A and B are shown apart, each in its own frame.
Chain A
Amino acid sequence: MSSNGTNERKLTIARAMAESIQQEMQINERVFVMGEDIGELGGVFGNTRGLLEEFGKSRIRDTPISETAFISAAVGAAQDGMRPVVELMFADFFGVCFDAIYNLMAKNIYFSGGGVSVPMVLMTSTGGGYSDGGQHSQCLYGSFAHLPGMKVVSPSNAFDAKGLMTAAMRDDSPVVYMFHKGLQGMGWLGTEAGATVNTPESDYTVEIGKAKVLREGTDVTLVGLAMGVHNALKAADQLAKEDVSAEVIDLVSLVPLDRETIINSVAKTGRLIVVDEDYQSYGVSGEIITTVCEHDISKLKAAPKRVAYPDVPIPFARNMEQFCLPNPDKIVAAYQAMV
């Protein structure tokens, strides 16, 4: 990571993403953006705002509602030397275009034995909590991370959002960049204030594949990503009032996964709770727990726990959705059940 980090300037994730893309487009003419409503509107979630005015319609390219066509076109452009950033407006929409993502974008480097590179970023929004129903609220982290050939990142704050986007655009492999709507800084979505943080003006990268220990502790390790990190931090505050010292790890990246940071933390605390807004079964939470158990199960003082989304489609009604979502109280309760 490089940073001049001297100024005190808070940005939302939306603005941090747009600034990263803007700066990279200024220095690399092969970077361009494609997606639905990313031009005139500046992205439904604000992450391309202002770019059309500076770069014009060729490089900030509104597309038809044809995710298969424009994502697979991005693969073709990337293999031809361009560095496209494409937006899949909601991760939930992957159903109409997953062939282009996991059979094409994710496999062509392997199928060519490294003969071609696929330097593209697929950015997509995740997460619910605002009653958008079961086709506009999913996280699907595990679905993307499960399939080999794509890097997968998800920032929890604006500093990481900017640095990860810059790193993703400079990567020669495809990167799926999953941004959580509830962290985006769009007022109409209701925003987690903790995501809006000091963000340097100059360009810098945040390493893909490196987790961050956001809070050190000795009694339990709380692991999460994106919104899960904020729930974990709030739970850690609550636990501190009960003299429990929680360590909080922000995964930042799912692929590659920084297993070492997790293992080292649990070796110290002996307890592990994974917070995941994605569905519970067959997903990220299971992978993190397995990582620790496979490495050295004797380090665990208690069976690991997960606070994840139950295995049901996401309900619309506000009370039902909130009942299903992870929250700090559930994390605290999970800890209390461990000791």
Chain B
Amino acid sequence: MTPSKDQILWMYRNMVTSRRFEEIIEEIYMEGKTPAFNMANGPIPGEMHLSNGQEPVAVGVCAHLNADDIVTATHRPHHQAIAKGVNLNKMAAEIFGKSSGFSGGRGGHMHIFDPDVNFACSGIVAQGCGPACGAALSRQMQNKPGVAVSFLGEGAVNQGAFHEAMNLAALWKLPVIFVVEDNAWGISVSKEASTAVPRNDVRAAAYGMPGHFIENNDPYAIFDVAGEAIKRAREGGGPSLIEIETYRLAGHFMGDAEGYRPEGEKEALIEKDPIPAMRARILSDGTASAAELDAIETESQSKVNEAIAFARQSELAADTDALTSVFAA
């Protein structure tokens, strides 16, 4: 599947929005955390898992989804959320723990829920696989359109939850796509040190579903393969597994000293940063002009600025709000 100009620019726009969003989050996160780094301090306390470098996965897949489709994402969810079209203001506010966030600050950055676009994420590795199957089952049983995409990391494929869900999805021929973001590291343990096979697409064979591997973090190739898998799922062909080689340009979380990385790895990855690479490709093949891309970047930056301002200006929830929303209203 080849992306149209609109689709290419949509992908570029969402990659840039995600990157600009995380750049600002990264800056604000450090407020109150210097000189001594204490995770509990500052306007954004807690863990912060940045996704910069992994944007091609989110946009290449989500370019084929609409609001009715379901995404279950990971503890590193910003790029996926933005590509799925979540309300950026509410997501920013949630990350700040403000009352105007999706859950009013009860969830935080690992627990972003936007029911309007069927987006959810969670902080437990491989936990989204089952719910994606269930949402897909719901559509299948109701004969309603929609596919579910479960994003997970390459470390998550060694969880039982992943294998149980793969079997269930294949057994019931559910419209689910499992998308493995292979950023090569499970915190500090490399893929090689944790996983018996070099590529996880081969695991699809164990469940009788198609498996694909995409190298080099290439948004065009991701768009192509994901598009075919999603089309297949929509047509009743059942689930697929896609593993994508992507790059984690930052640490596992902010504050990670990344001493486990081989010398030079990070610098080499930054050299391959997918956003400048995509810009160069768009310009070199004449898809769009520099002026068009500049305009997209400006718009992305404004959207991000607006979301951050919204979050900054929002009130914290009342302390006692902690005691509500345990059960459905």
Contacts and interface: CB of A to CB of B under 8 A. Distances in A.
B156 interface: no
A259 B160 CA distance: 40
Given A76-B133, A80-B139, A100-B127, 9 more contacts: A63-B168, A73-B134, A76-B137, A77-B141, A104-B127, A110-B103, A113-B104, A114-B325, A171-B328
Interface of B: 70, 72, 101-104, 106-107, 111, 113-115, 118, 120, 122, 124, 127, 129-139, 141-142, 148, 160-161, 164-165, 167-168, 171, 325-329
Interface in A58-87: 58-59, 63-64, 66, 68-82, 84
Contacts of A119: 328
B124 A72 contact: no
Contacts, number: 154
Given A66-B168, A69-B168, A104-B122, A80 B135 contact: yes
Given A63-B168, A114-B325, A116-B120, A72 B134 contact: yes
Contacts of B326: 109-110, 148-149
Nearest to A119: B328
A149 B107 contact: no
A103 B127 contact: yes
Nearest to A149: B326
A73 B103 contact: no
A95 interface: no
A115 B103 contact: yes
Interface of A: 30, 32, 58-59, 63-64, 66, 68-82, 84, 96, 99-100, 103-104, 108-119, 148-149, 151, 171-173
A68 B160 contact: yes
B328 A69 contact: no
A49 B268 CA distance: 62
B161 A72 contact: yes
Given A74-B134, A75-B134, A69 B164 contact: yes
A80 B161 contact: no
Contacts of B139: 80
Nearest to A63: B168
Contacts of A96: 160
Contacts of B113: 108, 111-113, 115-116
Given A75-B130, A151-B327, A81 B167 contact: no
A116 B115 contact: yes
Contacts of A112: 102-103, 107, 111, 113, 115, 120
Contact of A104 (B131, B141, B167, B329): B131
A77 B115 contact: no
Contact of B102 (A58, A68, A113, A172): A113
Given A75-B130, A76-B135, A117 B328 contact: yes
Contacts of A76: 70, 72, 130-138, 148
A142 to B, nearest CB: 18
